[in-house]
Structure 1
């Protein structure tokens, strides 16, 4: 494990992969001004230490194809059962994130399912019947104004950022995902930089077909890639979730202002007594309190109703994390694996 620090080259490499997660090493190296072998070796060291990783997850384009529902679920656990319950949730492929948090809930889950009906089937027939679960509350996410894949390390110059952004694919229209699309999502969820030849073998296809499919999935935002870093290495080790209310007609304007704040990892409209949810990274618990004040300054009409600080993010975008925030394994994300739903 790294000693809670990355040097300038490591930070630049992570920033480069946040912009172009599947770029060839030769392209990354040319932008960073080092040779490709050095870049590959550096990444291997970071990945093996669980300090950084690239994953993929269902994108907003699935909603455009009438497929995909994002839910945030608060869970209260029976006394002494929290760890067992949390570990059970981490094993579920449709639960993409599990956090032990402060406040009026024990766990906060992010659930990805095919549709609202699938979420309902799981909550009623699975979650509420789990041993150790005392109560739960489900909130559906509507518009996702920004998400964690847009968070950047900011170690590169504007010119370097422009060079890495030059070859972004032209937007494509989403379509109904088929079996191969789903298999590709599972494979890339575990290793977002898997080669096309490796994906072809895993998904029973050909490299050319896989290349075309993957490019379409990204261009249509049916799948999104993200380079993550262990939180202690980011200098932003504290994750805070804020629930708030904004006048309904002012949500888009408030969200636009909020998404411009560097700390913000996710901003989404949600159902329930709060209509906006914001997740941010902070430098400390004290800084998290300062973030709330900044939030009110940026969006003066916002009324903060609740907040929670993550004590342990056990799973993030399908990746299993230890208490230090380092990756220890993965459970590939599968929105179609909700019990009782389509296989």
Structure 2
């Protein structure tokens, strides 16, 4: 049985530090946490080997703003007795970043990334429609994202420590329009499996020199073309319940309302969506009882909002490209690839049982 008690002490501080600066060196982390770098590296390896914590990477909103990507939430109805079959099938698709078994008027809720709306349509009408266990689907395309999981924090560090880590994060410079090359795409796929992979490891996987990969990673981060994320098994966060709210807000108040909600501590996602509702909110809370308290707090932050539907996640089969067990611990990785299969001459990124590396260069 995996440990379901919340992380405490050094482990909690380490995860919080990596949430702020996922690619910080062990020397940088040691300085902030006042710990030995070797000890921190050893603790991180244990956490990742146990599936208790991990890092990943995925395309950021700047990609969509540049016309090079779109994000959608897809509600899935499953045939009787075939929900697990559908979830496991969908979780192994590289365009599907998250798969959750949820309560309410749908069986599964997917997060899907695609390069454009046409590709998304083709995926829905061909790939999704060909899965026998899926009987119906409803798609909500995402517009603006006001906050998302890479900004969520464990809250274990002092304000001074958090500020120091944020200040130490490398910042590059970008000029001109956002352009993503085939090499950039390979790097994104590799980083989705392990956001802390060394430049040497990335270079070997992506067919480029370490210096070139270093420059491209810096450029992608500076352009906000990608987001790095340090994740934790949900029961270890003291907030083991994921609550999902679908809300309706007057069109002239969406921006203001969404930014208020995005500032709430437990909220991990706040996004504008198309469809019957125009706002989706996901938060991690302490218990099922706290879902109603969350609704009350959201309503206080946004007078006039109508929460039209709500659900909780019973089981997260996949989160940001990583397959989870029933307790939320990572067990395998399906690297995220919003563009579909790589060209034939590019070695496919294999499904992995553990991160590619636990070192930093």
| TM-score under structure 2 length normalisation | 0.92
1:70–1:171 distance in 2 versus 1, CA, 3 Å: farther
Give per-residue Cα distances to partners, 1:133-156, cap 9 Å, x unaligned.
Answer: 111000000000100100001111
Find the counterpart in structure 1 of residue 174 from structure 2: 172
Secondary structure in 2 matching 1:93: coil
Secondary structure in 2 matching 1:74: strand
Secondary structure in 1 matching 2:339: helix
Find the counterpart in structure 1 of residue 288 from structure 2: 285
Alpha-carbon shift at residue 268 of structure 1 (Å): 0.4
Does 2:206 correspond to 1:203? yes
Does 2:193 correspond to 1:190? yes
Aligned length: 340
Does 2:77 correspond to 1:76? yes
Alpha-carbon shift at residue 126 of structure 1 (Å): 1.7
Find the counterpart in structure 2 of residue 306 from structure 1: 309
Does 2:220 correspond to 1:221? no
Map 1:70-219 to 2 at 5 A. Answer: 70-168=71-169, 169-170=171-172, 172=174, 175-219=178-222
How far apart are the structure 1 equivalents of 2:26 and 2:134?
46
Alpha-carbon shift at residue 64 of structure 1 (Å): 2.7
Secondary structure in 1 matching 2:235: helix
Alpha-carbon shift at residue 171 of structure 1 (Å): 5.5
Secondary structure in 1 matching 2:230: strand
Does 2:330 correspond to 1:330? no
Does 2:247 correspond to 1:258? no
Do the aligned partners of 1:242 and 1:307 also contact (CA within 8 Å) in 2?
Answer: yes
Deviating beyond 6 angstroms after TM superposition, the runs of 4 or more aligned structure 1 residues are none
Do the aligned partners of 1:94 and 1:338 also contact (CA within 8 Å) in 2?
Answer: no
How far apart are the structure 2 equivalents of 1:252 and 1:310?
27
How far apart are the structure 2 equivalents of 1:6 and 1:123?
39
Secondary structure in 2 matching 1:336: coil
How far apart are the structure 2 equivalents of 1:190 and 1:129?
27
Do the aligned partners of 1:2 and 1:49 also contact (CA within 8 Å) in 2?
Answer: no
Alpha-carbon shift at residue 4 of structure 1 (Å): 2.4
CA RMSD of aligned residues (A): 1.4
How far apart are the structure 2 equivalents of 1:288 and 1:46?
29
How far apart are the structure 1 equivalents of 2:28 and 2:3?
26
Stretch of structure 1 that moved more, 175-184 or 191-200: 175-184
- Segments of 5+ residues of structure 1 without an aligned counterpart are none
| TM-score under structure 1 length normalisation | 0.97
Do the aligned partners of 2:172 and 2:221 also contact (CA within 8 Å) in 1?
Answer: no
How far apart are the structure 2 equivalents of 1:34 and 1:126?
49
Alpha-carbon shift at residue 128 of structure 1 (Å): 2.0
